[in-house]
Amino acid sequence: MNRASLHFLLAALVAIALPLFMRSGTLASEVLIFAMAAAACNLLLGYTGLLSFGQGIFFGLGSYAAGLTLLHTSLPLALALVLSAITGAVVATGVGWLSIRRQGVYFVMLTLAFSQFFYFLAYTFKDITGGDNGLLNIPRPAIGPFSLGESWAYYAFVAVLFLLLFAALQRVASSTFGRTLLAVRDNEERARAIGFPVRNFKITAFAISGAVTGLAGALHALLIGVAPLSNIDYHMSESILIMTIIGGTGNLFASVLGAGFYVIVSDLLSSIWPRWLLLLGGLLIVVALFMQKGLWGLLERLVEALPMGRKSSINSSIESPIQPESEGRGI
C-alpha cells in the first residue's frame, strides 16, 4: 500500500472512530472541521513554506458567507457551502497576492496585518456580521432527504465532506503542482531559475487553502448555529497554526492528528483548569525544541520502536516534504 492510501485510510479510521469514543457529536464534528482547516494550513506551511496568519480570515469569512446565505436567501445548503468556499478562495487569492510580494518576516507581518484588518471590518459592519454578538440563529437545513438537525447526523455529513476534501488535498499535494510547491519551499531561487513562476504557484496554493478553510468555517457556523466574531479573530489564525504545527508539517494526516489533539485536549482541560492554555504553550515549546515533526513524528518513532514496526515503517518516501532541519526556512 502506498503512503497516500495509508494516510487516507488513517483519516477514514479517525472519522469512524470518533463516534465510537466520543459522547458529543458536536465535539467530534469540531475535530473534523478543524482537521480540514489545519490540513489547508499545512498546504501553505508544510508544502509551500508560507507561515500564514491569514487562515482565520478565510475561516471567519466562510462562516459569515454561509450564515448570510442561509439567513437571507432560500438557497440550498450545498450552495451556501460552495459560496463560502468561493469566498475563502477569492479573499485568499487577494491576501496571498499582496502578501507574497514580501518574504520571511515581512510576509508573516503582512498576513498578520490582514488578519487584524478583516477582524475590524467584521467588528465595524455590525449590521451585516452582528459585530460582537456574531451572526445568530443560522439554520441548518436538510440536505436532500437527510435531516442534519441531530448532532450525529450532522457529524456524518461533515465526515463525508472531510474525507472528500482530504482526498482532494492529497491529490493536490502529490500532483506536479504539489511537488513544485515542495521545490519552492526547499529553494525558491532555484525554482525560479529553472523556470517556475513562483508567485503564481504561491497564489494558487493560497486560493486552494482559502477555499478549504472557508468551507471549514461554514461548517463550523452551521455546527454551532452562530457565526461568531471569534471565528475571524486573530486567535483563530493562531489556533489553526498551532494545530498544524503540533500535528507536524510533514504530511496532511499529521494535521488531522494536530486538530484532534488540540480540540479534544482543550475540551478536557478547560473544564478542569481555566488556565489550561499555559499547558498548551508548554507543549508548543517542546514541539519546537524537540519534536519538529510534531505528533506525527512521535507516532512514527513509536511505530519504528515496535518489533514489527520497521517493516511497515510509514516514513521515508520521496513525497515526504519536510526535514526538520529546514523547519522555519523561507517562511
Partner 1 sequence: MSTQTPILAADKLSVRYGSFLALSDVTLSIKPNTIHSVIGPNGAGKTTLFHALTGRVRASSGRITLDGQDITHVSDDKRVPLGIARSFQVTSLFQNLNVRENLRLAAQGRNPLQALAPWRGVDPRDHALAVADEVMERLELTHVSDRAAGELSHGQQRRLEVGMAVAAKPRLILLDEPTSGMGIDDVEAMKALIRDLGRDHTVLFIEHNMGIVMNISDTVTVMRAGRVLVEGPPAVVRDDPEVRRAYLGNMITGDIA
Residues binding partner 1 (CB under 8 A): 171-172, 174-180, 182-183, 186-187, 189-198, 200-201, 204, 208, 318, 321-323, 326
- Nearer of residues 168 and 288 to partner 1, judged by Cβ: 168
Q: How far apart are CA 112 and CA 235, in angstroms?
A: 11
Q: How far apart are CA 286 and CA 246, in angstroms?
A: 10
- Nearer of residues 87 and 209 to partner 1, judged by Cβ: 209
- Nearer of residues 190 and 235 to partner 1, judged by Cβ: 190
The CB-of-182 to partner 1 minimum distance in angstroms stands at: 7
For residue 135, list its beta bridge partners. Answer: 227
| Residues 48 and 185: beta-carbon distance below 8 Å | yes
Q: How far apart are CA 176 and CA 234, in angstroms?
A: 33
- Nearer of residues 133 and 175 to partner 1, judged by Cβ: 175
CA atoms in the 13 A half-sphere facing the CB of 182? 17
Q: How far apart are CA 117 and CA 119, in angstroms?
A: 5
The CB-of-321 to partner 1 minimum distance in angstroms stands at: 7
The CB-of-316 to partner 1 minimum distance in angstroms stands at: 10
- Nearer of residues 233 and 300 to partner 1, judged by Cβ: 300
Helices (H) and strands (E) in the chain, counts: 14, 0
Q: How far apart are CA 244 and CA 44, in angstroms?
A: 10
Q: How far apart are CA 162 and CA 219, in angstroms?
A: 10
- Nearer of residues 183 and 269 to partner 1, judged by Cβ: 183
The CB-of-305 to partner 1 minimum distance in angstroms stands at: 24
Amino acid at 241: L
The CB-of-207 to partner 1 minimum distance in angstroms stands at: 9
Q: Which whole-number Å values give the CA distances from 292 to 49, 261, 279, in the listed order?
A: 14, 16, 18
| Residues 99 and 57: beta-carbon distance below 8 Å | no
- Nearer of residues 198 and 280 to partner 1, judged by Cβ: 198
Per residue in 241-273, is it b (16+ CB within 10 Å) or e — as a string?
A: bbbbbbbbbbbbbbbbbbbbbbbbebbebeeee
The CB-of-58 to partner 1 minimum distance in angstroms stands at: 17
The CB-of-197 to partner 1 minimum distance in angstroms stands at: 5
The CB-of-67 to partner 1 minimum distance in angstroms stands at: 28
| Residues 260 and 266: beta-carbon distance below 8 Å | no
- Nearer of residues 213 and 231 to partner 1, judged by Cβ: 213
